Amino acid sequence: MEGDLQVIDWNIFSTPSFVVDRVLLEKNLKVLSSVRERTGVKILLALKGFAMFATFSLIRQYLQGTCASSPFEARLGKEEFGGDVHAFAAAYSDSDFKDLLKTSNHIVFNSMSQYEHFLPMIKEYYGKISFGLRINPEHRETDVEIYDPCAPFSRLGITKKNFPERLPPYIDGLHMHTLCQKNSDSLERTVAAAEKNFGNYFKECKWVNFGGGHHITRDDYDIDRLCNVIENFKKRYNTEIYLEPGEAVALNAGFLVSKVLDITENRMPIAILDTSAATHMPDVLEMPYRPYILNSGAAGEYEYTYRLAGLSCLAGDVIGDYSFKEPLNIGDRVIFTDMAIYSMVKTNTFNGIKLPDIYYYDSESQKILHYKSFSYEDFIWRLS
């Protein structure tokens, strides 16, 4: 992929800016669509990972709907995407639940107490809306605990010990989400673990949601294995299956274009960029992880090594140490890859730092759509 990206003149984009490439996005969507065609599974876009609604006219050609974690996301899914809208949250306030009743086709509860609290409204809306419960298979596959729904003392999902003997009235399905950036072998083990505790309940379900965290569009992902897991499960339980990937939809389809503002020295050269890990790519600090930069290497791999850092006042606003074949200069573009997912949705205005512009780019036709720039008004409207 990197060879193809060398022909792009990154100077045509303002900095900082998010750039999503239609060609790379559609490549992912075709892979996801092939899974649907082989298995009959319904695939939803997880808005928590990617919510650039300018792309929805393309995505809806391949996927069947969206999944939301809040009333705002559910409304975005209903009004801008269409199709199915599935909602889940760790808990609902009364006002949030009433809002979700207006926008959602499926609503999943995280606990029996929430189900019992909202039972009067469940009875009223059952038939118009399908309701479900989230289970916790207590089977761990995720490496980083902050992203592991099955970590000890997890607040997400109902364990077998706390589940009723039968599927409760007005509950059509079960939802489980245990993965993060995983291959299909992880799903296969998760399903096996879930069947040990919840197999009898699956027999009563109209649908089962296998959640997200499936890296289906990654080059090494075993799609045949995924399809076998889905098809075998459907045969055993005669139920509809949903997947709700967020990352897989826009994996490697977006970039963050930044610029070197200054180069300082403190035991090593430090390049200050006009972007920030703290404000524009928080997962770099939360995960943590080291994003890839075009034409870069690990520290010491090439002749010129720099620490790349953000412009916020946070001392730890450091993206990582990178090396380059040529020295960096003030004004040079620095291109971060795989910045469509969990980037735009998690940006913030700490320090009043300007949010990146948003572009929708077609690398095939060279068409550029500059969708959004942010201003002081966007900053102050969030304050009081």
Q: Tell me, yes or no, whether 227 and 299 share the same domain.
A: no
Mean pLDDT, residues 322-348 taken together: 97
Please give the pLDDT value at position 5: 64
**CATH at 309:** 2.40.37.10
Please give the pLDDT value at position 8: 85
Which residue, among 131, 134, 142, 247, has the nearest Cα to 190 in the 3D structure? 142
Asked if residue 2 has pLDDT above 90, the reply is no
Please give the pLDDT value at position 6: 56
Percent of the chain predicted with pLDDT > 70: 98
Residue type, 74: A
Question: Where do runs of H (alpha helix) occur along the chain?
Answer: 2-5, 22-39, 56-59, 71-76, 94-103, 112-117, 119-125, 184-202, 223-237, 247-250, 277-280, 283-286, 376-380
pLDDT tens figures, 207-234: 999 999 999 999 999 999 999 999 999 9
Please give the pLDDT value at position 29: 98
Q: Tell me, yes or no, whether 301 and 221 share the same domain.
A: no
Rounded CA-CA distance 355/256 in Å is: 11
Residue 160 near residue 198 (C-beta atoms within 8 A): yes
Q: Tell me, yes or no, whether 182 and 274 share the same domain.
A: no
pLDDT tens figures, 105-163: 999 999 999 999 999 999 999 999 999 999 999 999 998 899 999 999 999 999 999 99
Say how many domains are in the chain: 2
Q: Tell me, yes or no, whether 240 and 267 share the same domain.
A: no
* Domain membership flag for residue 107: yes
Mean pLDDT, residues 47-52 taken together: 98
Question: What value does the mean pLDDT of the chain take?
Answer: 96
Which of 5-14, 55-64, 252-261 has the weakest average pLDDT? 5-14
Rounded CA-CA distance 11/273 in Å is: 15
Q: Tell me, yes or no, whether 9 and 94 share the same domain.
A: no
Cα dist from 38 to 66, 186, 223, whole Å: 20, 20, 10
* Residue 214, phi then psi, degrees to nearest 5: -90, 115
Asked if residue 247 has pLDDT above 60, the reply is yes
pLDDT tens figures, 86-107: 999 999 999 999 999 999 999 9
Count Cα atoms within 13 angstroms, Cβ side, for 86: 29
Q: Tell me, yes or no, whether 237 and 259 share the same domain.
A: no
Mean pLDDT, residues 275-288 taken together: 96
Q: Domain limits at 218?
A: 40-249
Q: Tell me, yes or no, whether 94 and 140 share the same domain.
A: yes
- The residue from 217, 249, 281 where one domain ends is 249
